[in-house]
Amino acid sequence: KTHPPLQKAFLFFRLAASSPTPGAAFRHDRYTYTSMLHLLGEAGRVPAMLHLLAEMLRAGVDPDAATFTTVMHWLARAGDVDAAMRVWEEMRSRRGKCRPTLVSYTACVKILFDAGRAAEGRRVFEEMVAEGLRPSCTTYTVLIEHLADAGKFQATLQIMSDMQDAGVEPDKPLCNILVKKCASAGETSVMTFILQHMKEKGIVLRRPVFLEALEALKASGESPNLLWEVNPHLASEGMEYDPTFSHLSCITDRSTIIYLLASRNWSAIEQMVNELTTRNVKFESHILSDIIQASCANCRPSCGLTVLYYSLRVGSELDRSAYSCLLGQYIRNDSFDLVSKIVERLIKHGCNLGAYLLSVLILRLGSAGHSSYAAHIFGLSPADQNVITYTALMNAYFQAGEVDKALELFSQMITNEISASAGTYEVLIYGLQKAGRKQDSDRYRRERMEMQWHRQYRDKHSPEDSLCDHLFCGFHG
């Protein structure tokens, strides 16, 4: 469940229940079904999630409250609140077998509040209390967040007072959420009350929220002393308040991006980067490179692509490893048209991919049978047209069965005074043999022997020849 590729989890889910030995197959229960439903919902595969739920019911496995709550949550996240509420009603109708829990009620209230159906949300909350369920801090957080979004900040203080009277103390997530809402709305009086509570309880703010609160206090002309007293750890990290600092928003953006990267919140990073693009804010290249590599490692290349386009717009050149990760991800996904467009944009913006990376791209495209894309990438960078990239494109043509084009390219290479290496001849000989052109193959075999005879008297080989030999000697497609 913790491994990012959903396909592997789903494959294991199926394999576990498909033992060929009669009676030895694992029988999925509501726990394994619920885990798989959660993974499908998290990946946005809502139809597949509903299909699996139906399969669960057909198998005679009764869903519990956790199952219904999971399905309800992901339906709402997908924008289908009505379907989520139908699942809620189905759960309520099964009170004999499946009674909604505190978590279920809290999730339902949040779904309704987020959908702007506050009256229904209040009725569900009242039903929860009537059922004898005691609201948790998470439940109160949902109520407070709703009131803050509605601009009713004084009412949030009343809820905080009520929850403390009920023996539930506001925790760090609640305080951070409320301070962030106050900072966004410029509500510094309520923020001061929350900060005082945090000081008494030893609760600190997350760094991005702290920076937003600092900016709000600065904008209102109020003293940030209490904020610093609540968060002495930031001063110990070497961060000091400078009233003359005029680029606090940039610091906030940077801290927020780093936090989102640490929490692997790819959707939020995409939204934030799109916003930064419109503001033409420039970020450090190493942060952008880290985002691309991490998003590809977590199978979220769309986030990496957004960051790449942003870097091109603001003129930030990234690490070559970031380009390799992103292009490799799309090649593995068979998105060859997109690979070609990415490379084209990179080269047009002056990014130097280098002969090695280009040759690897051409090789991968050729192996997939896309010689036209390989030729397009080859033609984009005349400065990198050397024995390595020429040989890679010849191999792509042979892979596609375009033998005459491969031979024409070899003649063009010789005309341009680029000497063939042993790797080049390896590709030619093998490609011609595979095409059934033995006479041509034997001719290039003799040329290779002659080339190797002369080469043994040379003191050293060029780096391009050595790399080409490394890539293609012994390489057969």
Could you read off the pLDDT of 11-54 as tens digits, one per residue? 888 888 776 665 556 788 999 999 999 989 988 889 999 999 99
- Please give the share of the chain, as a percent, with pLDDT higher than 70: 91
Q: Is the pLDDT of residue 395 over 80?
A: yes
Instruction: Compute the CA torsion angle 372, 375, 380, 386 (nearest 10 deg).
Output: 170
DSSP string, 238-281: T----TT---HHHHHHHHHHHHHHHTT-HHHHHHHHHHHHHHT-
Contact 144, 181 (CB under 8 A): no
Integer Cα distance of 265 and 245 in angstroms: 29
| Locus of tokens 């709305």 | 185
3-state secondary structure of 125: helix
Give the pTM: 0.50
**Lowest mean per-residue pLDDT among 202-216, 327-341, 405-419, 461-475:** 461-475
Contact 329, 342 (CB under 8 A): no
**Lowest mean per-residue pLDDT among 194-208, 210-224, 399-413, 456-470:** 456-470
Nearest to 265 by CA among 294, 305, 308: 294
What's the confidence (pLDDT) of residue 249? 60
User: Between helices 46-58 and 30-42, what is the axis angle to 10°?
Assistant: 170
CA angle 448, 450, 456 (to 5 degrees): 100
What's the confidence (pLDDT) of residue 245? 31
Contact 387, 468 (CB under 8 A): yes
- Residues with Cβ within 8 Å of 279's Cβ and at least 6 positions away in sequence, in order, are none
Mean pLDDT, residues 81-102: 89
Residue 265 Rama label (left phi>0; alpha psi -120 to 50; beta): beta
Predicted confidence band of residue 279 (pLDDT cuts 50, 70, 90) = confident
Integer Cα distance of 57 and 93 in angstroms: 15
- Residues with Cβ within 8 Å of 380's Cβ and at least 6 positions away in sequence, in order, are 343, 344, 347
pLDDT, tens digit, 9 for 90 and up, residues 414-452: 888 888 888 888 888 888 888 888 888 888 888 888 877
Mean pLDDT, residues 78-88: 94
Name the amino acid, one letter, at 177.
Answer: I
Q: Is the pLDDT of residue 68 over 90?
A: yes
3-state secondary structure of 78: coil
